[in-house]
Every structure is written in structure tokens, then in C-alpha cells.
């Protein structure tokens, strides 16, 4: 039972291909979802150095210092993911939700010429995958005891993770060229579902982090940076065995979220056209293990190693002021995966990906504006073939073994819509 809990926990964390709020794995590497505004979707998330667009506030709260008005933006991100694996038994699709939605909310309140208050709500991490029971043949072995059939392997069936980040911030305008911001990140894991053929785990939890950012602007050049600290979300829930006669257990999972650093440079080539290049570093090495503990404390039941590596993303965004009230956006991003072969997981079949974004912003008059963005995410195929043999003697050790060998393919469509009111 202990192994079942730890396996379920590990797969859940490692594999939550975030469809949205996991956004079914269609965003940045791992189970991160950096698409926090419709403007960001249109520029492939290259907005950290943009002092002009209110859609940049959620990427860099220091940008609020360069805006003279207060504003509130309310919208949603919708993700339509597609995952499939081809192995010895054919091609299998992940039967996750066709579309998943997540909130995108950002408010900015001007206190005076120097100070601004901000409040953002978004879903920076998450995912969802569902595999049919017969997807991985090495994990379908069962022990038949007459009226009772006992699965011998905790085959991953469903992984779902939804994490909401509530981000209050304070911005200080140092002078005409420089703005600074600081805030906290309150992470709420509103749903964590980790199902296998041996046990089901459902739970929720929360955790805290902090963020710092800056934005410098001199004539046509602007330079920005944003940092979100690592955080630990304590998820508590019930593990329900699917074997008769074994009682449920209360368990606590420590989910280590990575730190995120983003730096960007933007240059206005003309009064209408501007280009921005951003570099993002995600500290996936924080996601080194998953500790499963009895609820209420005590020594860990088991610790599972993930062995992920820090990963980079490179983003290029263009904005073009087509008309006085209309801005066009275009972007491309290349995101590296932090997941190596040693602990590859079918719950999070991650790989390097290409992100293509396009969007439009339209002023509607009387302080109202509408932002729309679309992104296509194409994962590079992952032809996984492990040299580590899976063994029933250690049935919990699935990640990184030949039990999940196969050719993995994935893609996703993202659509963002926001309405903004400036006052």
C-alpha cells in the first residue's frame, strides 16, 4: 500500500500534463503554464519588458508604474490538448477533456504618482491526462483469485492538477525611467486527482512564495525582469485502494514548485513597431523528489526521485500599432523540457516545444478594451526507449522504465479572451 501511495503521488506530480490549469500540457516546460494574459498569448509570452501594454502587468508588475490610470482586466484561458502514444499494441489517445479553462484576472490601482497596488489571479501550473487501461501492456498484469482480481502494477490512468495563483503586488515608480515591484504568490491547489489501477488519490492544499520585478525605460529601449520564488504546496487527501479489504489512508504530498526567472529587452523600431526578446529560466531542479508523509506529520513513508533539470525558454514577440485603437501581436517561443529519460513519466510526456502566437487588442471607447489571443503549441516527438527493465518486484518504479516505451506526440490549441476597463 505504501508503494501504491508513493507511485500515485509521484505520477501525479510529475505527470500532470496540465491541460490547463494544466492546460493539458501546452505551455512551458514540465507542468508550467506561463500564459497569463491574452496579450501574452499573442506574443508567445514575450511581455516582461513592455511598458505600454496593460497585458504585461501579470508578467511584470513593475510595468504598472508606467501607466497613469487604474485598470481591471477579466478573462479566461482555454486549452485544447492532444496527447497520444504509439507502442507495441498500437496508437492510444489520452482521453482528457477536449477543452480546459483557467482564469486570467489582473487589477491595477494607482495610489499616487509613485505607488501602485496590483492583484492578479492566474493558473501558472496544472495539467490533465487520461490513459485507457490497456495503453501500457507491461502494466496490465493481474492476479486472479477467483471472485477477486488484483492488479499487480499501479498503472497510471488519470492525472489532474489545478493550481491557482493569487498575486498581490506593490509597485514603486522610482523616477521616469525605473519602476520596481514586489509581492507574494499564494498557490491554491484546488484539485489534485491521481488515479491508477490500484488506488485513487484526491486532495487539495496551498503554499506561499514571493516575487520581485523591475522595468527600466530609456527612449525606445526598455529592459525588464521578473522573479518568482520556489514554493512548496502541501496537498492533503485520501488514498482509496481499489482492492477489497484495504482501508483508505490519509496522506500528505509535498509538491515543490520551481522558481521562475524572466529577463527581456524591448526596442521600439518605429512609433508603430516594437520587438521584444525574452529569456526564461525555470528551476525544475527544485522538483527533485516527492515526499509522501502520513497526514499530521511523521517520517516520510517513501521519497521518489524526479531528477529534473533547470530549463530555458527563448521568446520573441512583435507588436504593431496598426491603428490608433488597434494593436496587432505576433510571437514565437522555443521551450526546453526539464524532464530527462531517467525518470520519464507517461503522466507528463513532456518534451521540447514550439509556441506560435497571434493576437489583437482593440480599444472600444469609454475606457473599455478587448484583447484576444491564439496560440498553437507543437511538441517535438519523443521516441522513448528505456534501457531500464520494469520489474513486478518493485511495481511502484514505473517512471524511466521500458514499461512506458513508445513514441509520444502532443500538441495544443490555446485561446485567450480578456475585457479591460481603464478608469
Structural domains of the chain, with CATH:
2-422 (2.40.160.60)
> 110-114, 239-243, 302-306, 391-395 — which one is most confidently predicted on average?
110-114
pLDDT at 24 over 70: no
Closest-CA residue to 357 (of 335, 321, 324, 333): 333
More confident residue, 391 or 159: 391
Which helix or strand (DSSP H or E) is residue 38 part of? helix 38-42
Position 26 scores a pLDDT of 42
Band of residue 6 on the pLDDT scale cut at 50, 70, 90 = very low
Instruction: Annotate 251-319 with DSSP letters as a single string.
Output: EEEEEEEPPEEEEEEEEESSSSEEEEEEEEEE-GGG--EEEEEETT--S-SEEEE-----EEEEEEEEE
Cell 489582473 -> residue? 106
Residue 349, CA distances (Å) to 127, 166, 336 in order: 11, 28, 13
Q: Which of 109-113, 205-209, 245-249, 303-307 has the lowest mean pLDDT?
A: 245-249
125 close to 163: Cβ distance less than 8 angstroms: yes
Q: What distance in Å separates the CA atoms of residue 350 and residue 340, rounded to the nearest whole number?
A: 9
Q: pLDDT exceeding 90 applies to what percent of the chain?
A: 61
CB 55 within 8 A of CB 360: no
CA–CA dist 178, 79 (Å, integer): 36
Residue 261 has pLDDT above 90, yes or no: yes
What is the pLDDT at residue 8?
35
**Beta strands at 199-218 and 231-241: parallel, antiparallel or unpaired:** antiparallel
Lowest mean pLDDT segment, chosen from 81-90, 96-105, 196-205: 196-205
261 - beta bridge partners?
227, 281
Give the containing element (helix H, strand E) for 414: strand 406-422
* 300 band by pLDDT with thresholds 50, 70 and 90: low
Element (H, E) at 149: strand 148-151
The confidence score (pLDDT) of residue 111 equals 98
Q: pLDDT tens-digit profile of 49-96?
A: 999 999 999 999 999 999 999 999 999 999 998 889 999 989 999 876
The mean pLDDT value for 357-362 works out to: 98
Q: What is the percentage of the chain residues whose pLDDT exceeds 70?
A: 86
* Best CA proximity match to 14, nearest among 230, 1, 22, 137: 22
Stretch 18-27: mean pLDDT: 36
- What is the sign, positive or negative, of the torsion defined by CA atoms of 322, 369, 26, 409? negative
Can you read off the three cell numbers belonging to residue 267? 526596442
**Please, which pLDDT band fits residue 165 given cuts at 50, 70 and 90?**
very high
132-136, 175-179, 204-208, 277-281: which has the minimum mean pLDDT?
132-136
- Give residue-wise pLDDT tens across range 122-150: 999 987 888 888 899 988 888 887 777 77
Tell me, what DSSP letter sits at residue 10? H
**Cα end-to-end distance, the chain, whole Å:** 57
- Give the per-residue pLDDT at 11: 30
Looking at per-residue pLDDT, the higher value among 228 and 192 belongs to 228
For residue 28, what is its C-alpha cell?
512551458
Residue 19 clears pLDDT 60, i.e. is over it: no
Amino acid at each position: 500500500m505504501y508503494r501504491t501511495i508513493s507511485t500515485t503521488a509521484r505520477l501525479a506530480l510529475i505527470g500532470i500534463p496540465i491541460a490547463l490549469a494544466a492546460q493539458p500540457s501546452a505551455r512551458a516546460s514540465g507542468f508550467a503554464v506561463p500564459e497569463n494574459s491574452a496579450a501574452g498569448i499573442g506574443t508567445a509570452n514575450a511581455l516582461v519588458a513592455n511598458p505600454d501594454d496593460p497585458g504585461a502587468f501579470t508578467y511584470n508588475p513593475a510595468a504598472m508604474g508606467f501607466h497613469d490610470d487604474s485598470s481591471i482586466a477579466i478573462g479566461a484561458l482555454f486549452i485544447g490538448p492532444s496527447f497520444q502514444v504509439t507502442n507495441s499494441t498500437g496508437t492510444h489517445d489520452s482521453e482528457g477533456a477536449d477543452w480546459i479553462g483557467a482564469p486570467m484576472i489582473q487589477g491595477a490601482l494607482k495610489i499616487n504618482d509613485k505607488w501602485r497596488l496590483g492583484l492578479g489571479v492566474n493558473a501558472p501550473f496544472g495539467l490533465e491526462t487520461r490513459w485507457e487501461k490497456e495503453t501500457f501492456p507491461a502494466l496490465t498484469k493481474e492476479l486472479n483469485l477467483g471472485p477477486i482480481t488484483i492488479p499487480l502494477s499501479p498503472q497510471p490512468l488519470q492525472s489532474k492538477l489545478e493550481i491557482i495563483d493569487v498575486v498581490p503586488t506593490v509597485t514603486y515608480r522610482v523616477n521616469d525611467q525605473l519602476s520596481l515591484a514586489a509581492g507574494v504568490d499564494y498557490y491554491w491547489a484546488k484539485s489534485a486527482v491521481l488515479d491508477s489501477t490500484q488506488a485513487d488519490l484526491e486532495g487539495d492544499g496551498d503554499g506561499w512564495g514571493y516575487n520581485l520585478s523591475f522595468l527600466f525605460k530609456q527612449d525606445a529601449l526598455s529592459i525588464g525582469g521578473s522573479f518568482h520564488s520556489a514554493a512548496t504546496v502541501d496537498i492533503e487527501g485520501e488514498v482509496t485502494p481499489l482492492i477489497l479489504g484495504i482501508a483508505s489512508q490519509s496522506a500528505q504530498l509535498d509538491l515543490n514548485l520551481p522558481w521562475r526567472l524572466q529577463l527581456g529587452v524591448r526596442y521600439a523600431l518605429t512609433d508603430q513597431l516594437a520587438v521584444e526578446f525574452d529569456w526564461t529560466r525555470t528551476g525544475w531542479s527544485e522538483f527533485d523528489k516527492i515526499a509522501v508523509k502520513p497526514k499530521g506529520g511523521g517520517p516520510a513513508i517513501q521519497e521518489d526521485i524526479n531528477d529534473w533539470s533547470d530549463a530555458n525558454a527563448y521568446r520573441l514577440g512583435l507588436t504593431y500599432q496598426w491603428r490608433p485603437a488597434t494593436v496587432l501581436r505576433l510571437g514565437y517561443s522555443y521551450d526546453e523540457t526539464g524532464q530527462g529519460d531517467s525518470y520519464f513519466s507517461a503522466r507528463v510526456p513532456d518534451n521540447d516545444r514550439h509556441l506560435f502566437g497571434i493576437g489583437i487588442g482593440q480599444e472600444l471607447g469609454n475606457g473599455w478594451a478587448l484583447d484576444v489571443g491564439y496560440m498553437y503549441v507543437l511538441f517535438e516527438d519523443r521516441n522513448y526507449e528505456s534501457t531500464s527493465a520494469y520489474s513486478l518486484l518493485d511495481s511502484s518504479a514505473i517512471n524511466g522504465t521500458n514499461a512506458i516505451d513508445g513514441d509520444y506526440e502532443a500538441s495544443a490549441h490555446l485561446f485567450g479572451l480578456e475585457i479591460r476597463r481603464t478608469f
